[in-house]
Amino acid sequence: MTQDYLVRALAFNDEVRAFSVRSTDTVQEAQAKHYTWPTASAALGRSMTAGLMMGSMLKNEEKLTITINGGGPIGQIIVDANGKGEVRGYVTNPQTHFDLNEHGKLDVARAVGTTGSLNIVKDIGMRDFFTGSTPIVSGELGEDFTYYFATSEQVPSAVGLGVLVNPDNSIKAAGGFIIQLMPGASEETISAIEQHIGMMEPVSKLIDKGLSPEQVLEEVLGEDNIRIIDRMDVEFKCNCGKEKFLTAIKGLGTAEIDSMIEEDGGAEVECHFCREKYHFNVEELEALKEA
């Protein structure tokens, strides 16, 4: 089995920085945990794929949260990613699916909606968080992240995101790329990239054919122009745990904890991201009131 991984590269004499990822197994894990239907799988998978690449722009312990709320039937898409290649995500309504759109593709824009915003919060270990927000421009998500980079971070970028789903709802292929122009990139470089992108197949098809992240970048940028800087394994990973939920329950206050004890004889909490359930008995809840 091919392991999911991400590469970072420079291209065109360092006028361009580039990222590409194979995320098939990572998206499959999210699909299995949330039992997403195909259109929801594509929306969540594209968002998680973008999250992995944006996370790789951070340092190890730094992290970011993507919130997409386009007003569509899927509800919110939430993705957390960090600089270590770890990502987790969920959607409000995982059983969202529609007929294919007029291009014969999963109708992600219809699921996501086109009337809301894409929000990014980066926690880079400072007291203040970096927050960026841009309107949803297409709901297809690739264009929405492209617009986010250009508008919120002032970095001209091209973002390609793709997910193919099997008839049994499992993930056939998932991956993506982000190409970013550095200050001073020449007109020749820009038009060469535009030409390559205009001619290439969708990124999900390239991944499905077995192309590696390096080979995807060769398709986008031309094989003679790239210098791979490093590669990193990526995976679905949730950092929830019983201690975190204990802290959250404690924050609800004594009256709420008392009603859990009296009415329910304990508490059960489920993590939104990984669906793991945590049980708290009466003794554990009583101890919280005294802590």
CATH number of 5-236: 3.55.30.10
Tokens 């239907």 found at: 37
Options 3.40.640.10, 3.90.1280.10, 3.30.360.10, 3.40.30.10; CATH for 242-290 is: 3.90.1280.10
**Is the CB of residue 263 less than 8 Å from the CB of residue 282?**
no
pTM attached to this predicted model:
0.93
CA 21 vs CA 152, 204, 274: distances in Å: 23, 11, 22
**280 compared with 119, residue with greater pLDDT:** 119
pLDDT tens digits, one per residue of 217-272: 999 998 888 999 999 999 999 998 888 888 888 888 888 888 888 888 888 888 99
Q: Where are the domains of the chain?
A: 5-236, 242-290
Q: What is the pLDDT of residue 283?
A: 85
Which of these ranges, 20-34, 73-87, 192-206, 275-289, has the smallest mean pLDDT? 275-289
Average pLDDT over residues 140-152: 96
Structure tokens at 45: 């998978």
Question: Average pLDDT, whole number, for the chain?
Answer: 92
CA distances 180 to 8, 66, 71, 183, 213, Å, are 11, 19, 29, 10, 16
Nearest to 38 by CA among 114, 99, 103: 99
Query: What φ, ψ does residue 118 adopt, rounded to 5°?
Result: -110, 120
Q: To which H or E segment does residue 244 belong?
A: helix 242-250
CA 16 to chain centre: 22
What's residue 289's pLDDT?
A: 77
pLDDT interval class at 291 (50, 70, 90): low
